[in-house]
Structure 1
Amino acid sequence: MSSKKKQNRRSRQPNSNPPLVASNDRISKLLQSEDLVPDPSQGSDKFFDLITWNIKFFNNRDPKRVAIITNILHELNADIFVFQEIEEHSLDVVAQNLIDSSAGLYKVAYGTTGGDQRVAIMYDTEWVKASEDIKELFGNEDLTVNVENLKKQVFPRLPLASNFVVRTADDPFDFNLVGVHLKSQRGGGFEQRKAAAQRLAEYIQNDAADEDIIIAGDWNADPNRPEWEPIQDLEKQGLLKFEGFNFVNSQVEGSHLSVGGRRSKLDVVAVTIDAAKAVVKEADVVEWTILDDSPLALTEREVRKKVIDTISDHLPVLTRFNFTDRDADDEA
């Protein structure tokens, strides 16, 4: 199966009409069928797709699971993936399989902290370039908080970050990407997440090398929770999108699954205002139809359990950034 990117989805000629979406560009087809792409942007090559996904203790020792994950990523075919709970080097075989199947020229960078639950970034080097080495943030800082008289790391898994350049627009889009997997709610975690939010807010205001910043990953708490106050304050100041970009208004929007049917919105994105202007729409949800319409005549609970057991208890979350001409529209 050839890649959508091998069929001129990205190759527009000057002054030509926008190309049709390639036959196997499934994301674009789905978004357009759900009316999530404005008419002027349909068929345009001026976008990039970012997906964050916690794959739940992923390693490469189970060939069947590797094949399942590879097939899913082939279908998604995003430009950048931010992964959580990844064993070091375990995605190398997946990236090679995607290259062999013409899904893209993927490259993987791994964090060094978190043991078998590391943060990883995989990106298609055909369309996205890292303009500097991908490195962990805050590794030289002693970031700890006291939790019940015990010293705890603010970031059990350090954020993984770099500056990237997307080549999909006429004018390349430069941005700073930060992949996160913050402390879980098991055994508490509130103080660690609150301190993490404060340090990330400081990073956004003072430390980031680019004014366009995207923070994506598993935050391990809904975006309306009180521990995110430092990030929420920046949103109130008009500096970024967070709660307004990750609405929490129904169970169906949660990306974290439980066998019993409960969902939580833990996998979210924070975007600075300039970068947020490039997003087509905010916080729309496209359901995985397998969860509601199983071809195996299983109950929804059985299908959900199968997904959790064989794939992950998190769903991949897609954000599409669509660019417009600066002269025609003050966005991009």
Structure 2
Amino acid sequence: MLRSLGLLLLCAALSPRPALAAGCERAFSLVSWNIQTFGDVKPRRQALCASAYSAVISSGVLVVAAQEVAHIRGLRRLLDLLPGRRDWRASFADTPDSQDNAILARGGAAIDAHGFLFADGRTGALDRGRAVHPVRWAHVRVDDFDFTLVSLHLAFQGGNASASRRELAALLDWLEVYFADPASDPDVVIAGDFNLPTGKGKTLSRRARSRDWTPLEEMIREDGRFAEGSHRLAVLVDEPTSRPGKIPQNNYDHFILSPGALARLVSAGRTPREAVDRADRDLRERVSDHYPITATFCSQGGGVKPDAPFAGRRAEFPAVIAAGPPEPTGL
């Protein structure tokens, strides 16, 4: 318990901490992690992952946005390796892609609607032209805070930043439609591997001199729709998060928050490196080629008005899977 608390406090110390109203009674953490093509993982790597997951997924972590889940077998193996494995439920659906996205929740975190971005509302067919790796969304509630969470992995294509920028533009188009719908929850958290940096993160990265590797804030500012006003987007996490050689290299992983979600934020940053490095140090196998990132939110109190019950549409194609039963169950 003390170790978990220490990791949470260290994570908070590593990132800018916005002013939080006094009296925050309850908080929870959300972890986003590219877990690197997690499918039919060999036993040696499974053991490393279990050790790292125990260090990263402390008791205060109630929600996980996972990237690069290879298939349904990989999802079930992932759930088996997480601490408190039978407590988790996952919003996930297998696709022809080998790097799917998932959203996991446990304990006091409830998922009441979910599905894919860029999916045909009638057939469920995915538009792979807008997202090579199908983007997952879920509406999540923890205590008085509910929000729409998006788990994504923008196209990498061997470091071709134009592919990442093109998919980010599609995401911003989706956000414009989303915010225009009065049934949509205005509190949004976008989490994942963007393969693009923040302005500060670029200066800290190996790719710092890459001219076409455009910072996210610059793209949002040039787009104009979410640079100011009630839907202004905040981009978080400046530390390098890729670790192909088991050392930090490039600033790829981020949280992007709407104003309402930002008002709830306690801290955000790269999860302490040692939580992962300790598990695979001096070994050939690797936990992942990315470090996780963590955001902590005030879910109750703190002078923030409780959110009203969600009144939006439920997903047309639900696929929530419990860690215990072998078969998918609907919401």
Give, in angstroms, the shift of residue 46 of structure 1.
Answer: 1.4
Give the alignment's Cα RMSD to 1 decimal: 3.8
Alignment of 1:73-222 (within 5 A): 73-77=53-57, 78-89=61-72, 90-98=74-82, 102=84, 105-113=87-95, 115-124=97-106, 126-132=107-113, 134-140=114-120, 153-167=129-143, 172-186=144-158, 188-190=160-162, 192-207=163-178, 209-222=184-197
State the distance in 2 between where 1:237 and 1:213 align: 16
**Structure 2: how far apart are the matches of 1:87 and 1:196?**
20
Comparing both chains, which one has the higher relative contact order based on Cα–Cα distances under 8 Å and sequence gaps of 6 or more?
2
Contact 2:270/2:292 (CA < 8 Å) preserved in 1?
A: no
How far did 1:103 drift?
A: 6.2
How far did 1:47 drift? 1.4
Q: Kindly indicate whether the alpha-carbon contact (under 8 Å) linking 1:84 and 1:218 is maintained by their aligned counterparts in 2.
A: yes
Write the distance in 1 (CA, Å) between the matches of 2:272 and 2:78: 25
Structure 1's unaligned 5+ residue stretches are 5-21, 145-151, 248-252, 296-301
Amino acid at match of 1:128: A
CA distance in 1: counterparts of 2:158 and 2:51, whole angstroms: 31
SS for the counterpart of 2:158 is coil
Alignment length (residue pairs):
279
Larger radius of gyration: 1
Question: What SS class does the counterpart of residue 45 from structure 2 fall into?
Answer: helix
TM-score normalised per structure 2? 0.70
Aligned equivalent of 2:274:
289
Asked if 2 retains the 8 angstrom alpha-carbon contact of 1:83 and 1:121, the reply is yes
C-alpha distance in structure 1 between counterparts of 2:49 and 2:197, whole Å: 26
Gaps of 5+ in 2: 200-212, 308-331
- 1:2-22 per-position Cα deviation (integer Å, ceiling 9, x unaligned): xx6xxxxxxxxxxxxxxxxx6
Q: What is the CA-CA distance between 1:205 and the residue it aligns to?
A: 2.7
Deviating above 6 A after TM superposition, structure 1's stretches of 4 or more consecutive aligned residues are: 32-44, 141-144
Report the residue type matching 2:95 in the other structure.
Answer: T
**Structure 1 residues 231 and 331: CA distance shift in structure 2, 3 A:** farther
